[in-house]
Chains A and B, each alone.
Chain A
Amino acid sequence: MMNSVSAKNIVFGYTATPVIRDVSFQVDKGEFISILGPNGSGKSTLLKTINGLYIPSSGRIELMGENIEKYKRRDIARKISLVPQDTSLQFDFTVEEVVTMGRHPFKGRFEKEDERDRKLIYEAMEMTNTFDIRERLITEISGGERQRVFIAKALAQNTEIILLDEPTSHLDINHQIDILNLLRRMNQEKGITIILVIHDINLATRYSDRILLLKKGGIIAQGTPEDVITTENILNAYGMRAAVERNRYTGHISVIPLEVNKRIRSELNIRVHVISGGGSGQDLVNVLYHRGYQLSMGVLNAGDTDWQYAKSLKVQIAEEKPFSGISDRAEKKNREMLAEADLVIMTNVPIGSGNLRNLKMASEFLENGKKVYYLRDKEYDEFDYTGGEATFILEQMVKNGLCSVDSMEQLLREIS
């Protein structure tokens, strides 16, 4: 693949303190790249450095394999266009006049736009859905429309690379998706390389081929969304605990913020072992975690929704291989955890041959005179896939004093 822009160990600062520290990356032609990072991490500065607006104090930006400092401003403008963060314009230009400005790098001082320019301008307006508002004044249209007009201007510039500085930050959620879908179409239909600074991690993972994650001016991770957006990297960059999972509707990596690291969770000296699976324990673990209970979980299959969630919270887990029944080894680990637990909470996750051992262990725990709570807040068609054995054990447990609760609130009252 052809290399369109690359940064080689660039350092840049507005004053003596660098804002960009030793950043290197490479963008191939036709890629969709997002630059992520907390406020002040140097995202916008990096974007402008890519555009040659700032000259790095060391290292260099290469455009099509050539040092960008060797290009004239006008020649850069024929290769890279920029959609700035601030698209406010105080002067009453019409939409079409603003889009026409995109042709500036190709025109002489008094040269008029010709047929080809007109065609590019009209195509740009059509693609961005601004054709119908071309006579309106830029001062009188909405923020979402203005954003599309500025994207149309960049499209009219007809460059191989478009840089965008937070194009979605002031927009409603529907307009955010609208803009990103537009960018994806430009990327896929026209092969335009898109480099985007964005705040919303979930939008970035959904649309990008690759992500650059910045922290304090340096890249702490770059690669596919799956590689970059991990609990560790989010914690490192943003100082925030987050659950990372695949979104069940879009299938993309998505981040759920849990808590900012600095806030201290008051720890309780009560150890709770949770038996769950298939997502039935997610809410429960979340609530218990934030109330400060010491948690362990098991046995869970690796990759299970509850497993993923527990991992993101760094909860101890007795784990089994995916889609396998509970082995002796996993059971042993689970028993070690149970031995230290003060109480057990099990969800009403269906029991089959694979996880029957979990139920048995809970039953033994109860027989040892300790408390077991049974949280039945989920709806399942069937509980017993073991042909009666699970139901029998459960009835046994009820006789031994299993505490059954119907809601989270009730459970929390009971255990506190």
Chain B
Amino acid sequence: MKDNIRIRSYGFTMLVLVVLLILMVGITATIGSASISTIDVYRVVASKIPVLGELVDSNSITPSQHSIIWSVRLPRLLLGVIVGAGLSISGASFQGLLKNPMADPYILGISSGAALGAAIAIILKLEAAFLGFSGISILAFVGALIAVTLVYNIGRIRSQVPVTTLLLAGVAVGQFLTAITSLLMVIYNRDMTKIIYWTLGSLAGKGWNPITTMSVPIIAAMVILLFFSRDINIMLTGEESAKSLGVNVERIKVYILLLGTFITSMAVSISGIIGFVGLIIPHIVRLIVGPDHRILLPASAVVGSIFMVFTDTIARTVISPMEIPVGIITAIFGGPFFIYLLRSKKKAL
């Protein structure tokens, strides 16, 4: 049954998904307190592109509409695109690498490390910015990297990193760091709300800066990840089997862990801990395109972007003008959908 809907032409699948994403961005950009039409959104974007900009008639758009689209909504949407893509592609590659359907980008302690880093920055009121990043972002990034380094070194046995010990080390370190964060919240309880808000994740009010600095390294890391998609496929048949097929298992494991960690830490440091995207998007995409990581990884990235943009639009509009942290929306939408998938496709997950 799954075979019938499995789309054989990978190029076509990607094309459809990218068109969907562009439409999604265009449509969601119009939603909000100020009324703007979809076509205006594309006009504003086009007007910013050299050559093309000359040809577009943007006279009908008022300066305030222009600035809402260009300075407020668009950067937020693009941040959603990048964060959603990054989390989903990391989740998909971790699930494949660890051969564990419950794996997500945070499984190696990234979230708890980042949360602790952010909590420390909030408590210390680190306002100093570096390269345009806030103290919170920087400490969150550092915290995530320290956590993964810790997990990796605990999980390593000599030159090998068995998957089980890695997962257990991830859980243990994660719990430990979370406990410390909780302890800090109890002691400095006036910062508690802010810390909790941060850990729930949000894409609000970041401006263009994180996108211009982050997108190149994140996209580069995602492209490099794609280089290893066939190796991940083969590693699913078992590590020894993969080695006998000429795959350098231990080295590729390290590459993927590094790339996934890098992408996730970047995303988390800007947007906080947005849950569920990196867990369920790969599962949904796997049901549609199958387990071949050559299509699963890029398709997860685009579907992750679509999902992120969609949920973030809900987060900022549903009880407007109040913002709901987007992590809550992803879980509210993701949770039941995931349960539905579990029930209906038990075997596949």
Contacts and interface: CB of A to CB of B under 8 A. Distances in A.
13 contacts: A51-B244, A76-B246, A78-B246, A81-B244, A82-B241, A89-B237, A90-B99, A90-B101, A101-B233, A101-B245, A102-B245, A104-B234, A137-B2
A94 B247 CA distance: 21
A78 B347 CA distance: 34
Contacts of A200: none
Interface string A157-181: 1000001000000000000000000
A202 B13 CA distance: 53
A98 B241 CA distance: 12
Given A74-B246, A82-B240, A139-B347, A109 B3 contact: no
Given A92-B348, A109-B227, A137-B2, A84 B247 contact: no
Given A86-B238, A92-B290, A73 B2 contact: no
Contacts of A157: 245
B338 to A, nearest CB: 18
A288 interface: no
A94 to B, nearest CB: 7
A93 B292 CA distance: 7
A107 B246 CA distance: 11
B3 A98 contact: no
Contacts of B291: 91-93
B240 A73 contact: no
A73 B101 CA distance: 29
Given A73-B243, A92-B348, 18 more contacts: A51-B244, A53-B243, A75-B246, A80-B244, A84-B237, A84-B238, A86-B238, A90-B99, A90-B236, A91-B96, A92-B2, A92-B291, A93-B290, A98-B237, A104-B245, A104-B247, A105-B245, A163-B244
A74 B251 CA distance: 14
A77 B230 contact: no
Interface string A268-303: 000000000000000000000000000000000000
A139 B348 CA distance: 9
Interface string A44-85: 000010010100000000000000000011111110111010
Interface in B96-151: 96, 99, 101
A135 interface: yes
A367 interface: no
A89 B236 contact: yes
A89 to B, nearest CB: 6
Given A84-B238, A89-B237, A109-B227, A104 B244 contact: no
Nearest to A83: B241
Interface string A116-135: 00000000000000000001
A82 B245 CA distance: 8
Contacts of A82: 240-241, 244
Interface in B282-307: 286, 290-292
B255 to A, nearest CB: 13
A81 to B, nearest CB: 6
A133 to B, nearest CB: 12
Interface of A: 48, 51, 53, 72-78, 80-82, 84, 86-87, 89-94, 97-98, 101-102, 104-105, 107, 109, 135, 137, 139, 157, 163
Given A94-B3, A97-B292, A105 B240 contact: no
A53 B244 contact: yes
Interface in B172-230: 227, 230
A415 to B, nearest CB: 57
Contacts of A78: 246
B248 interface: yes
A135 B3 CA distance: 8
A97 B234 CA distance: 10
A77 B245 contact: yes
Candidate in A72, A84, A98, A135 with the most chain B CB atoms within 10 angstroms:
A84
Contacts of A90: 99, 101, 236
Nearest to B243: A53
Contact of B246 (A48, A89, A105): A105
Interface in B259-303: 286, 290-292
Nearest to B237: A89
A75 B248 CA distance: 12
A101 B234 contact: yes
B348 to A, nearest CB: 6
A102 B244 CA distance: 10
A106 to B, nearest CB: 9
A91 B227 CA distance: 20
A104 B230 contact: yes
A82 B99 CA distance: 20
Contacts of A93: 233, 236, 290-292
B269 to A, nearest CB: 30
A118 B247 CA distance: 21
Contacts of B236: 89-91, 93
Nearest to B249: A73
B303 to A, nearest CB: 18
B189 to A, nearest CB: 45
Contacts of A80: 244
A139 B349 CA distance: 11
Contact of A73 (B3, B246, B286, B292): B246
Contacts of A163: 244
B347 to A, nearest CB: 7
Contacts of B290: 92-94
Candidate in B99, B101, B245 with the most chain A CB atoms within 10 angstroms:
B245
A78 B292 CA distance: 23
A77 B244 contact: yes
B287 to A, nearest CB: 9
